[in-house]
Amino acid sequence: VAWYLGELNKYQQRTGTRLLDYLDLHFYPQGANVSLSNVVDPATRALRLRSTRALWDASYIDESWIGEPVRLIPRMRDWVNQNYSGTKIAITEYNWGALDHINGALAQADILGILGRERVDLALLWGMPEGNVPGTYAFRMYRNYDGLGGRFGQTSVSATSQDQAKVAVYAAQRSDGALTIIVINKTEAARQIELNLRGSTKTSAEVYRYSAATLTSIKKEANAAIAAGLIKTSLPASSITLFVVK
pLDDT digits (tens, 9 = 90+) for 174-188: 999 999 999 999 999
**For residue 181, what pLDDT is reported?**
98
d(CA 227, CA 203): 6
- Work out the pLDDT band at 131, boundaries 50, 70, 90: confident
**For residue 23, what pLDDT is reported?**
98
Q: What's the pTM value of the predicted model, to 2 decimals?
A: 0.96
Whether the CA torsion 153, 99, 206, 149 is positive or negative: it is: positive
User: Are 127 and 205 within 8 A, CB to CB?
Assistant: no
pLDDT digits (tens, 9 = 90+) for 39-85: 999 999 999 999 999 999 999 999 999 999 999 999 999 999 999 99
Phi, psi (deg, nearest 5) at residue 155:
-115, 115
**For residue 84, what pLDDT is reported?**
98
**For residue 118, what pLDDT is reported?**
97
**For residue 7, what pLDDT is reported?**
98
Flag whether pLDDT at 115 surpasses 90: yes
d(CA 168, CA 162): 9
